Structures are given as structure tokens and as C-alpha cells.
């Protein structure tokens, strides 16, 4: 009977440990969410909790990036026949944007990492833009039944990096055994807040 009780207890511990691993829930658009200690330990290869406690202060998180366009100019056009609408002639350059660091606060008690990190937002809006092709002209037409007729200047997208494609996920880096290690994190995305 004692042997069966011990097996059940070990199985419960294994189940609890497995369930605790997938705890990264971060909105990569704004870098807000939570990352569990087990996810980081597994991703970076910290050998055990003692190694994790020694190395957690070196851990950094990154989010975002991916396919992007840098808008060089956005010529806003009035729409004759649809006074509340606007068309656009957009000159943009395709490229990629690197992921950016996310501010993270470790949850600690008496100097020891407890359950993980609260991520509180990206440090900048977008990472470094790397062009991958030539600039192109793209037209956003006026609504059907109206025509664009007047160039009324450049809009608020001038010079801005716009993420057109899927954004890269969440990554983590840290020092493990004297070496910097970077890895992808399993992440259950948090929906962007409704504004």
C-alpha cells in the first residue's frame, strides 16, 4: 500500500511540474504579460533551481519584429463623392524589424526568484529596420462610387515602420555556465487591449 501511495504522489508531482512549464502569456505587440520560471529554465537550459537562482538576474526578454514596411511617404487624397473617406498613395520599402527588449520585473522573495517575471512593455516602439527590397508605390483607393481628386499632404505615417506581416514571437536570453544563450519561448498570446 505504501508503494502505491508513493507512486501516486510521484505521478502527482510530475503532473504538477509539467503543468507549471507552459506559463508564458505575453502580448508581443506591446510586450505586456507574464513568463513563468519553468519556461525560462527549460528554454535556456538552467540545470536546476540552484543554477536558475544564480543566473536569473542576467535574463532578458525580447518581443515583436518580423516582416515590415518603412513608409517613406503617405500622400493622403480626398475622395469626391465620399467626403468622410480618404485614399492614399503610399511609397514604402519592404524589410524586417528586429525584436526589441521588453521591460521585465522578476518576482522575488528574500532575493530568490519565485514564480517568474512580469513583463511591463517594450522599451521602444520598433527595432532596427533592415531593407529587403526596393521602395514601391501602393495605392489605397477611395470607396467604390467615389474618386480621389486632391492631394492634401503627407499623413501621420511619414517615416514610420509598419509591421505588415506576422510578428515574431517571444524570446529570452541569459547567461548559463558563462555563455549567453538565446531561445524562443512557448507563448500563449494575450490579445491586444481594446482601446
- Please list the residues that pair with 63 across neighbouring strands: 100, 170
- Please list the residues that pair with 90 across neighbouring strands: 74, 138
115, 40 in Cβ contact below 8 A?
no
67, 96 in Cβ contact below 8 A?
yes
- pLDDT, tens only, 88-144: 888 888 988 888 999 999 999 999 999 999 999 988 766 788 999 999 998 999 999
At residue 85, does pLDDT exceed 50? yes
- Please list the residues that pair with 138 across neighbouring strands: 90
At residue 150, does pLDDT exceed 90? no
The domain ranges of the chain are 2-184
At residue 49, does pLDDT exceed 80? yes
Grid cell digits, residue 34? 507574464
Residue predicted with more confidence, 38 or 2: 38
Note the pLDDT of residue 45.
96
Please state, as a whole number, how many other Cβ atoms lie within 10 Å of the Cβ of residue 192: 11
Mean local confidence (pLDDT), 53-66: 92
Note the pLDDT of residue 159.
67
Report yes or no on whether pTM surpasses 0.75.
no
Grid cell digits, residue 141? 483607393
Amino acid at each position: 500500500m505504501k508503494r502505491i501511495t508513493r507512486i501516486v504522489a510521484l505521478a502527482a508531482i510530475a503532473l504538477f511540474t509539467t503543468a507549471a512549464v507552459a506559463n508564458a502569456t505575453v502580448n508581443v505587440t506591446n510586450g505586456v504579460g507574464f513568463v513563468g520560471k519553468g519556461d525560462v529554465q527549460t528554454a535556456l537550459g538552467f540545470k536546476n533551481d540552484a543554477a536558475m537562482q544564480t543566473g536569473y538576474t542576467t535574463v532578458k526578454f525580447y518581443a515583436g519584429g518580423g516582416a515590415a514596411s518603412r513608409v517613406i511617404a503617405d500622400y493622403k487624397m480626398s475622395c469626391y463623392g465620399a467626403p468622410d473617406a480618404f485614399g492614399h498613395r503610399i511609397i514604402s520599402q519592404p524589410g524586417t524589424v528586429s525584436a526589441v527588449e521588453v521591460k521585465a520585473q522578476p518576482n522575488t522573495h528574500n532575493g530568490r526568484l519565485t514564480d517568474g517575471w512580469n513583463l511591463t512593455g517594450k522599451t521602444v516602439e520598433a527595432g532596427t529596420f533592415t531593407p529587403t527590397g526596393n521602395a514601391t508605390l501602393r495605392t489605397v483607393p477611395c470607396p467604390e462610387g467615389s474618386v480621389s481628386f486632391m492631394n492634401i499632404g503627407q499623413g501621420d505615417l511619414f517615416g514610420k515602420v509598419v509591421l505588415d506581416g506576422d510578428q515574431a514571437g517571444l524570446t529570452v536570453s541569459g547567461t548559463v555556465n558563462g555563455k549567453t544563450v538565446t531561445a524562443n519561448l512557448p507563448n500563449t498570446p494575450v490579445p491586444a487591449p481594446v482601446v
